[in-house]
Amino acid sequence: MVVPTMAEMMAQGKQPEVLFWVGAAGSYDDRAKKISRAFVKILHSAKVDFAVLGTEESSTGDAAKRAGNEFLFQMQALMNIEVLNGYEVKKIVTCDPHSFNTLKNEYPGLGGKYEVFHHTQFIQQLIAEGRLEVDKTPLKGKRVTFHDPCYLGRANEVYESPRDLIRRLGVNLTEMKRHKETALCCGAGGAQMFKDAEKGNKEINVLRTEDALATQPQIIATGCPYCNTMMTDGIKFKEKESEVVVKDIAELIIEANNL
């Protein structure tokens, strides 16, 4: 799979349709890399002209900001904005709701104004434009529940695009008791991913996994690499690995389309 960089595109005098912002998790975490690869397969399948920043991409600064280090956040943001504006980037898509939220809502105030999409929104758009079809047969009838990422759902009110894509898979979608506006955090947001647990009798990701298991799913669908990690850890804790898998929506689509 060819993944061109913006520098390579620029050298050829080309401007891609969209920049794929891979994000820290999608670049370095072995599990999240699979989500990045799945999304790239979808982009290739839909013949989308895209590019990545490659080594020029740095952390959006989300974790620094949520942890209270505004100075580090602004330093990282301004560095990224300089690179993005240098390439005259207009449209960005990312698989990470944390990057999505930061690029969409935090960067404009620092001079970085872009049209930003979560990958579920972008895939939904590709389907609407007739550039991508989803095969209903391979996953037909599978029991699926969807965990709303905080930075996609409650922070940005994006609830329908992931569900629309899941329904297109021909599966049996069962909502958790706490979903959409009342969804419970997986426990990774706000830079909690990088700190030790506080005192209590249960980890948040285990509590959220119990919400999911109550729907008796075969698949827990996610739309965030951090949620994916937390729910996977929850399934391991509950020793349900042989019965339940945790997959990003992009991974479900490439499975359905045999990409």
pLDDT tens sequence across 131-143: 999 999 999 999 9
Rounded to an integer, what distance in angstroms lies between the CA atom of residue 52 and that of residue 173? Answer: 33
Neighbours of 117 (CB within 10 A): 22
pLDDT, residue 133, reads 96
Strand, helix or coil for residue 24: helix
Strand, helix or coil for residue 185: coil
121 band by pLDDT with thresholds 50, 70 and 90: very high
pLDDT, residue 253, reads 98
pLDDT, residue 54, reads 96
pLDDT, residue 199, reads 82
Among 67, 58, 64, residue whose Cα is nearest residue 24 = 58
Rounded to an integer, what distance in angstroms lies between the CA atom of residue 62 and that of residue 69? Answer: 10
pLDDT tens by residue, 136-173: 999 999 999 999 999 999 999 999 999 999 999 999 99
pLDDT tens by residue, 224-245: 999 999 999 999 999 999 999 9
pLDDT tens by residue, 39-56: 999 999 999 999 999 999
pLDDT surpassing 90 at residue 17: yes
For residues 182-196, give the mean pLDDT. 83
pLDDT surpassing 80 at residue 57: yes
Rounded to an integer, what distance in angstroms lies between the CA atom of residue 255 and that of residue 16? Answer: 27
Rounded to an integer, what distance in angstroms lies between the CA atom of residue 72 and that of residue 164? Answer: 37
* Amino acid in the structure at residue 56: E
Token pair for 67 = 């942890």
Work out the percent of the chain whose per-residue pLDDT is above 90: 92
Residue 181 near residue 214 (C-beta atoms within 8 A): no
pLDDT surpassing 90 at residue 124: yes
201 band by pLDDT with thresholds 50, 70 and 90: confident
Rounded to two decimals, the pTM is: 0.95
7 band by pLDDT with thresholds 50, 70 and 90: very high
